[in-house]
Chain A
Amino acid sequence: MDYSLNCKVIVGGRAKGRILSTKQPINFLSSVDHLTGLITDKNHELCGEFLKDNLLIFPYAVGSSVGAYSIFALKCNGVSPSGIICTLKTDITTASGCAIANIPLLELSKDQEIPEIENFSEGTVDGISGILQIKKV
C-alpha cells in the first residue's frame, strides 16, 4: 500500500529517494563516515548502509554538537541523504545542519496514525506542502 504522511516543514525543498528508516537515534559525528556517507557504528542497526541519495527517517540526532558540520560535510562531499525526516523530535543539530546544507527536513506530525515504515521502499518529500509519500516497491 502506498501512503502519505503529514509533516511539519523545518527546511523546505523537494526530494526523493529510497527510504532508509531506523528507530535508533544517530550521532552524525561518530557514526557516519563523512567522505562516503557510510554508517560505520557497529552498534547501529543501519551499520553498512550508505546515506547517499536516500530519504533518512530517524527519531532524532544525539551526541556531539559538531554533528551539524558533519551533515554539512556529507552534502559538500556529495554523499548526503536527499531528504531527512525526524519521527520523534527535530533536534538542533539536525535542523542547523540541514539549514546550512539545504537538505529538506521534515518532522512527522503526531496527530496521525503512522504505519510501520519499511526500508527500501521509494519515497518523495514535498517540503512545500509538508507531505511525505511512500510507495512500496
Chain B
Amino acid sequence: MFVHLTREEEDALDEKQGTAISTAYKILLAIGKATNAEKLIPVEWVHLSGVNYNTIGDAGVNFLTEYSQEARFLVPTTINPMGYDSHKQNNLSSNFKKQQGQITNAYEKMGSVPSFSCIPYELFQLPDRGHNVSFAESNAAVMANSIFGLHTNKESSLSALASAITGKAPYSDLRINSIRDPKIKIKIEKELKTELDYGILGYFSGNSVKESCVSFGHQISSIDMYKTKALAAALGTSGACGMFSSKEVYDESISYGKEEEKSIVNELNTTDSGDVIALGSPQLGMYELELVSNMIGGNKFSKKCMIFCPRPIYEKSCKSGIAQRLENAGASIICDACTCLSPLLSREEYDSVITNSVKAAHYLNKSNGVSVCLTDIKSIIRNYTK
C-alpha cells in the first residue's frame, strides 16, 4: 500500500518549501508506510516530548538547534516537562543547564507554548471528541484516546514534531474508528483498590498486548482521575498500546490475577524503603494535590518529599492554600519537571526512591539506576508522615 500525497505535499517533500518541511514530510512518509496509511490528514493540536536534556542528550540538542533555524510550528504545540524547575535552586551542572536551555530556546523559536507538562489534558481546553491531535508523551496519548475521545496515535517525539511543522499526520491505526474497537480483553481476576493496583495492571497489559487498543471491561468504567492516570501512564510505558476501552470483547482475552501482579511487582519494586519520596509521574493535577494534602492532615513528612506538578497548577494551589499546606508538611513542590527521568533524582544523590508511580519505577530502575520502593499513596502517607 502507498501513502497518497497531494501535489502540494509532494512538492513539500521535494524541498520546494525548504529543507525543514521536507524533513518533516520524510518522517511522516516513513510512518505512513509503516502504519499502512492511505493519506495524511490535518491535526489540530500537537503535544511534543523530547524536551528533557536527560532524555534526548547532545544528539537531540544539536538536531533541535539546527532544525529550529528554519522550522516553524503550523498548529498550536505544547511541550513536555524539561529536566528541572528553573525557579528553584539545584545542584545540576552548568553543562546540563546550558544544554537544557538550548533545547527550550529551540522549541520556543519554533513557536511552542512553554507548558512543560506531561498532562496537557488538564491544562488546556480540549477539542471536541473525534477530532485529531498528535500527542507524543505516552500517558497523554493514552488519556486523549481513552478518556477524552480525541484521536491520536501513540506518537513519537519526532512524528509529533513532524506533525507540528506540517499540521498533518498519517491516517492510520488509532485514527481509524474500526481500530479503536478493542479486539482483545484483559480479564481482571483480582480486586483493584489503589492507584498502584491500576498502575500494575497497566504495566502488565502493555507487556502482554501487541494490539493498539485493549479492553478492561466494565470494571474500569467509573474509576477516578488519579487511578486512570496511573493506568494510562503504565500502559504507555511498557507497551505499544495507545488506548484502553471498557467495551466488552468476547473473542480473545488474557487473564490478570494475583500471580501476574506479583511478577510485575517483583520486577519494579526493588527495595523496602527509600531516601526520598517522589510523587508525580505523570505530574499531579489540582485534584491530586488536594487529595494528598487532605491525607496528610496536619502531619509532617519524615523523609524528604518531592511533588511534581505543572506551574499553572502550582500557582492555583498557592491561591487556594493547598501548596502552603503541602510545603508546611515538608514537601518541595517542583514545576516544569517530572519524576520520570529528572536529573534531580540521580544515582549520585539518592540510592533509592519511594513512589506510587509504576511509570516512575520503570525509569528510575532502568534509566536512573536508582532502587525503587513501589507503594500506594495511602501507605506512603501512613508510613512516612507523623
Contact = CB atoms under 8 A, between A and B. Distances in A.
> Main secondary structure on chain A at its contact with chain B?
mixed
B367 interface: yes
B287 interface: no
Interface in B218-245: 236-240
A66 to B, nearest CB: 5
B313 interface: no
A90 B157 contact: no
A46 to B, nearest CB: 14
B62 interface: yes
Contacts of B62: 76
Interface string A47-63: 00000000000011111
B162 to A, nearest CB: 7
A129 B367 CA distance: 38
Contacts of B239: 25, 62-63
Contact of B158 (A9, A40, A61, A96): A96
B291 interface: no
B342 interface: no
Interface residues of B, number: 44
B148 interface: no
Nearest to B206: A62
B267 interface: yes
A53 to B, nearest CB: 18
Contacts of B155: 65, 92
A96 B159 contact: yes
A93 B156 contact: yes
Given A66-B50, A73-B56, 12 more contacts: A25-B239, A31-B366, A60-B210, A65-B155, A66-B156, A68-B159, A73-B58, A75-B59, A76-B58, A93-B159, A96-B27, A99-B158
Interface of B: 23, 26-27, 29-31, 33-35, 49-50, 55-60, 62-63, 136-138, 141, 153-160, 162, 206, 210, 236-240, 267, 362-363, 366-367
